Structures are given as structure tokens and as C-alpha cells.
Amino acid sequence: MPVMFQINGKIVPESEAYVPAMDRGFLFGDGVYEVIRTRGGKLFHPELHYARLTQSAQRLRIPFPWSLEELEKNIEATREAAGTGEHYVRIILTRGTGLAPNIDPAHAPSAPNIVLLVRPLELPSREQYEKGFSAWLVNTLRNHRQALDPAIKSGNYLNNIIALMEAKDHGADVALLLNSDGFLTEAPTSNVWIVKDGRTLTPPPEAGILLGITRGLLLDMARREDLPVYEEAISRETLLEADEIFLTSTLKDILAITALNGNPVGDGKPGPVTKDLARRFHQFVEPD
């Protein structure tokens, strides 16, 4: 199945997909993005991703010119060119092509650049779900909300990249980041949850996190089913003493962390609460 792009309305294969060298997303990371997956051949909650995309764009004062209906129409046209099957869709919006390599947005008076990337959907393997991931609590801190707010899903991912490299140096699959106050925030591309004494906890927005779509759906499900799931500040000590840890994201759903800093979490296998929530979530999002 080919990888297809749509660049400012033109659908092209990967070999012909280019943006100008003066594009501000390339030069400065001056842009935002979203990733949507399909389930059963249909976009999964595009309205939630559209809301977050436009909110991120507004924070950067970049106008997004499409309505939700126009976005869906353009995605479907690109998906049709990419062939049948389940898809990964990445929406990239940059401030546009600059007149000069100057950070001042006044040097980008033209329209924003919009790129759609459609490729076959690749999910973690059954073995990875059964084994879980290893994590490392890194020394790299999450961006402060008053510096570069993690709630903005921007193309500037250096904080996450540096953290992931640090975790990889220790042989771990993912990094877990604290904020400057010493509380848990998230992983580079996932929200983090812990289970302690029968309660499931995830950091609140004020910890400095991206409000994940899967995170929000899981919280909604938990509230509907009256489950002991809460948004609470999680200290380093509480994290290290967790009975279970798991991640949520668009491309992972719910995936266990079974080792932290080289030590097993619980018995070193996905825990009962994690497995139960994963089962419930699957039924919640794919009831048929």
C-alpha cells in the first residue's frame, strides 16, 4: 500500500512530496499537527482531533482554513489514493513559506501550508501488548507550561526527542518525564497512568501535558462506568511505588509499562487493572 501526501490540495506519492526550504515548519518548528487513525475503515473521532488541532493553531495564531467537513473530505481523497485498509493520517499545518529565515511571523505573509500524510496503520504487536514496554524516568524535564506549553501539539518535539534518547541510553523503550515541581507529566508520545491501591491515576492538565484524545475517551468511559479513575498529581515517589503503569495514545490504545528504571512494575507483567481497562476500552470504542 503506497504512502500518499496531499500538499496544499495536491495529492502526490511520497517520492514527489516536498515543502519549500523556507517553510517555517522546517526552519523553526513553527506549526502544529495531529494524528488520526482509522477503525473499521473510518476515521476515529475526527471531530476531537479537529478541535485540538484548531485550538493548537489558535495558540500559535496560525489560521486553519478548513472546516471539519473540508478536512474530512481532503483526508478521504488522499486515503482513496493510498488504497484500502486501515490508515495512519497525519495533518500538518505550518505558518507557511517565509520571505527570509527570520523568526518574526511578519516574514511569513502568505497562506499556511497544509500537508496530509496517509500511510498504512502500524500498531504495536500482540507480543508487545502481552510483554509491555520498559520505561526510564529521565532527568530531562518536561517543558514548562509558561515556556512552551505541552498542551500545544506543535511540530517542535525536541524536548521529547532528548528525553527519548536519554531513555534509550538506559535500554528502555520509552521515557517518563517529570515537571519542574517534581510531578509526573507524560511520555514523549503518550499519556501516562498508574494504578496504586486499587485507584487509577493520571496527571491533571496543570501538570503540563498534552490532553490526549485516548486519555479523554478513557476518562469518559471510566466516569460512565463509575470506575475509580482520577486526575491527580503524581509524585516521583508515588510513581516508583506504583502497582501498575500504562500508556494511552491514538496508536497504542492502552499498553502496559512492565519495567521502570530496570525494575519490574508489579510482577513484571501487564496488571489486572490495566488488562481490564484495555478490555473495557476496546468494547467502548468498538462496540460491534
Give, in degrees to the nearest 5, the angle at Cα 10 between 80 and 52. Answer: 75
pTM: 0.96
Q: So what's the pLDDT on residue 1?
A: 74
Q: Which three cell numbers stand for residue 67?
A: 472546516
- Residue 168: the pLDDT is 98
For the chain, list the domains and their CATH numbers: 4-120 (3.30.470.10), 126-285 (3.20.10.10)
All 3 cell numbers of residue 139? 532527568
Q: Rounded distance, CA 15 to CA 181, Å?
A: 46
What is the mean pLDDT, run by run of 10 residues, along the chain of 288 residues?
A: 94 96 96 97 97 98 97 98 96 97 94 97 96 98 96 96 98 98 98 97 98 98 96 98 98 98 97 97 86
Q: Residue 288 has what pLDDT? A: 64
Phi, psi of 169 (to 5 degrees): -60, -25
Q: Where are the beta strands (DSSP E) in the chain?
A: 4-7, 10-13, 31-39, 42-43, 87-94, 113-120, 133-137, 174-176, 186-187, 190-196, 199-202, 229-231, 244-249, 253-260, 263-264
How many whole angstroms separate alpha carbon 178 and alpha carbon 148?
15
Asked if residues 31 and 95 have their Cβ atoms less than 8 Å apart, the reply is yes
Enumerate the H helices of 85-184 as residue ranges: 126-131, 158-169
Q: Are 218 and 277 in contact (CB under 8 A)?
A: yes
Residues marked as catalytic? 153
